[in-house]
Amino acid sequence: MADEPATRETVLVVEDDVLVRMPIAQYLRDCGYKVIEAVSADEAMTVLLHRETVVDIVFSDVDMPGSTDGFGLSKWIREHRPGLDIILAGTVPRAVNAAKELCDDGPTPKPYEPHAVHDHIRRLLAARKATGRT
Amino acid sequence: MGAVGERPRPGQQASAVHTVLVVEDEVLVRLMIADVIRSAGYEVIEAANADEALEVLAHTHGVSLIISDIRTPGSLDGLRLAQLVRSHRPAVPIVLTSGHLRNVDSVDHDGFFPKPYDARKIVEHIEALLARKR
């Protein structure tokens, strides 16, 4: 704990595909952020309404199941949490690049190669496709 | 949330190599238990249901222990997940939690915690289970 940055920003990652969410969340943790994971906009709103949970940045997929998608979440945040930064990343490459930009500015900037993260996610998704899971 | 901020303890480096897969559909409960386990020095992968847990297990090889809620949405519940883990990953301990059942004697498992549980007790249980594996 002693070597953690004093101000550790919290990123709320909203992504319904575990094989994408898992590496992105780990990537951001490695850059020094505290990361909260949500699998839908509904879960994200539950987190954001929870008074004890501090969130500095929302990092969200666009196309998600549930009562609303990433655009709806963005609109909800503008109304209920104005001033909270939201990053919408509609595709895996955009998500990886947005994560890299966060890492560049993060508490523990690391020279991560976004292509490596993207390749890792691509391999996970390809392996799932090969095993017939959708 | 995250009441166990005192951890990790000095000299607990060995636990850092262990990865705990948390399966919980209630986002605030998942956030709390994942936070406490991470604070104890473990890597944590978060899954919102048993289907996601199977995805993680199919595509990663580093999961040391699973903690799963029993009643989760999706094609299978925590009890079925426990049976599959026993069959296909017999070396991986699985600890079950539930807010509805008071015992889960119908399936083989490595511990059961009725909700609401004390997350610190779960961490102590994890430490004991993983110590046996070393």
pTM above 0.80, yes or no: yes
- For residue B105, give how far its alpha carbon lies from the nearest alpha carbon of chain A (Å): 30
Distance of alpha carbon B37 from alpha carbon B122, whole angstroms: 9
| Residue-level pLDDT at A134 | 53
CA dist A75 → A40, A68, A78, B49 (Å): 15, 10, 5, 27
Q: Which residues pair with A38 in a beta bridge?
A: A14
Residues of chain B in contact with residue A52, where contact means CB-CB under 8 angstroms, are 1
* Chain mean pLDDT for chain B: 88
Q: Which of A22, A48, A122 to mutate to test the interface with B (most CBs of B within 10 A)?
A: A22
Most A CBs within 10 Å, among B46, B54, B75, to test the A interface: B46
For residue B50, give the amino acid letter.
Answer: A
Task: Judge: A124–B30 Cβ closer than 8 Å, yes or no.
Answer: no
Q: Which residue in chain A has the smallest CA separation from B47?
A: A18
Q: Any CB–CB contact under 8 A between A38 and chain B?
A: yes
Give the whole-angstrom CA distance, residue A60 versus residue B127.
34
What pLDDT does A106 receive?
A: 73
> Which two three-digit tokens encode residue B48?
């919102």
Say what percent of chain A tops pLDDT 90.
51
Q: Which residues of A touch B45 (CB under 8 A)?
A: 22
pLDDT in tens, B16-55: 579 999 999 999 999 999 999 999 999 999 999 999 999 9
A53 near B CB under 8 A: yes
Calculate the alpha carbon distances from B49 to A114, B54, B129 in Å. Answer: 28, 9, 23
Q: Which site among A14, A39, A40, A64 would you substitute to test the B interface, given the most B Cβ atoms closer than 10 Å to its Cβ?
A: A39
Copy the structure tokens of residue B120: 């610190």
Judge whether A70 and A61 are in contact, CB under 8 Å.
yes
Which chain B residues are Cβ-neighbours of A1 within 8 angstroms?
5, 8
Å between A83 CA and nearest CA of chain B: 23
Residues 6+ apart with CB under 8 A from B45: A22, B19, B20, B21, B22, B56, B60, B63
- Give every CB contact of residue A59 below 8 A, 6+ residues apart in sequence: A11, A12, A13, A14, A24, A28, A86, A87, A89, A95, A98, A99, A102
Return the pLDDT at A133.
Answer: 58
Residues of chain A below pLDDT 70: 1-7, 108-114, 133-134
- When pLDDT is averaged across residues B61-90 and rounded to a whole number, the result is 95
Does A39 touch chain B if contact means CB atoms closer than 8 Å?
yes
Q: What is the pLDDT of residue A121?
A: 83
pLDDT at residue A7 in the model? 58
Beta strands in A33-129 (DSSP E): 34-38, 57-60, 85-88
Decide if A133 touches B, using CB distance below 8 A.
Answer: yes
Question: Please, which pLDDT band fits residue B103 given cuts at 50, 70 and 90?
Answer: confident
Alpha-carbon distance A118 to B4, whole Å?
A: 34
Question: pLDDT at position A3, please?
Answer: 52
